Structure 1
Amino acid sequence: MIGILFSILAGIFISLQGVFNTRVSDKIGFLETTTVVHGVGFIFALIITLIYGSGSFSKIGEINKIYLLGGVFGVIIVFSVAKGISILGASFSIAIMLVIQLIIATTIDTFGLFGSPQIKFEYTKLVGLFFMIIGIIIFKLKG
């Protein structure tokens, strides 16, 4: 249940973040927004870590260096979401993102990529993705 709650929160905040960042970029630019957003995010993460952190930065050398690209991905995500929303609108852009996220996540699960446990691919996942894509097409149709 807690996993569902965190997933719901992530969905809410990803949608809000995309719209908020797009509004900021209207005033200061897309790359500038990406920089500001990550600066503010860093300060917030540092404060939360100082208050609640229970891990240790001392083991950072043990991490596979490719996984540190997550920070780079964050920059690309913030920029791309703001651009996508500014061009397509929030609902259409986020719908496309959700389908792509499911395709990539299913690929990672199916092949057990990046140290993830391998989860058997079921045809129902393909059917679900198909219906999501059809749903986006119907959603976007002009009436």
Structure 2
Amino acid sequence: MIIGLLFAVCAGVFVGVQGIFNRHVNMHVSSWAATAFILATGSLAALIMGLVIDGTAIFDVSGMKPAYWLFGLVGIGVIFCTMTAMKKIGPTKTIVIGVIAQLTASMFFDMTGFLALPKMDIGWNHIAGLLLMIVGITIFNMKKKTA
């Protein structure tokens, strides 16, 4: 459990830092070029780390449905939308709103069993927690009026 929590915290930190790095890349090239560059460097790094840690076993896709091979394309949307949002509203708002959208989508996917996920019951406490986060981001984004 502790290891899972630590990895979740690291993932959150990586998402925040990656968004800022992506924004800097995007300041020099178009959003599409930045997306391609970021995915290419990430893919190369993942390939190297996979080979170092797991060896050639990383190429065993025998148990995976061919349709799943295309799911990596979602990463294009993640990076492009994150960079575009950061240009428009800044890193902090982008990440916080993204987390709320991610939780909302995940909650919906859990409730409906989307993409063959096991259906899960969502209680009032889950919905209340999500609403509390939405209220929190609204308060966070309120600007103080200056005279």
Please say whether Structure 1 and Structure 2 have the same fold, judged by a TM-score greater than 0.5. Answer: yes
Distance verdict in 2 for CA 1:117–1:3, change over 3 Å:
farther
RMSD: 1.5
Alpha-carbon separation, structure 1, partners of 2:124 and 2:70: 32
The equivalent of 1:118 in structure 2 is 119
Alpha-carbon separation, structure 1, partners of 2:139 and 2:82: 22
The equivalent of 1:87 in structure 2 is 88
The equivalent of 1:57 in structure 2 is 59
The equivalent of 1:131 in structure 2 is 132
Can you list the C-alpha shifts for 1:14-40, whole angstroms capped at 9, x where unaligned? 111111101111011211111111111
Alpha-carbon separation, structure 1, partners of 2:60 and 2:16: 34
The equivalent of 1:78 in structure 2 is 79
Question: What secondary structure is seen at the aligned counterpart in 2 of 1:142?
Answer: coil
Alpha-carbon separation, structure 1, partners of 2:8 and 2:70: 22
Alpha-carbon separation, structure 2, partners of 1:22 and 1:123: 37
87-96 or 109-118: bigger deviation: 109-118
Identity %: 29
Alpha-carbon separation, structure 1, partners of 2:142 and 2:60: 53
Cα deviation, residue 105, structure 1: 1.0
Give TM-score, length-normalised by structure 2: 0.89
Unmatched segments (≥5 aa) in structure 2: none
Cα deviation, residue 56, structure 1: 4.7
Tell me the matched-pair count.
142
The equivalent of 2:29 in structure 1 is 28
Question: What secondary structure is seen at the aligned counterpart in 2 of 1:82?
Answer: helix
Alpha-carbon separation, structure 2, partners of 1:102 and 1:119: 14
Can you list the C-alpha shifts for 1:103-142, whole angstroms capped at 9, x where unaligned? 1111222233323333221111110111111111100101
Alpha-carbon separation, structure 2, partners of 1:118 and 1:27: 44
Cα deviation, residue 42, structure 1: 1.3
Alpha-carbon separation, structure 2, partners of 1:65 and 1:108: 21
One-letter amino acid of the counterpart of residue 3, structure 1? G
Alpha-carbon separation, structure 2, partners of 1:58 and 1:12: 30
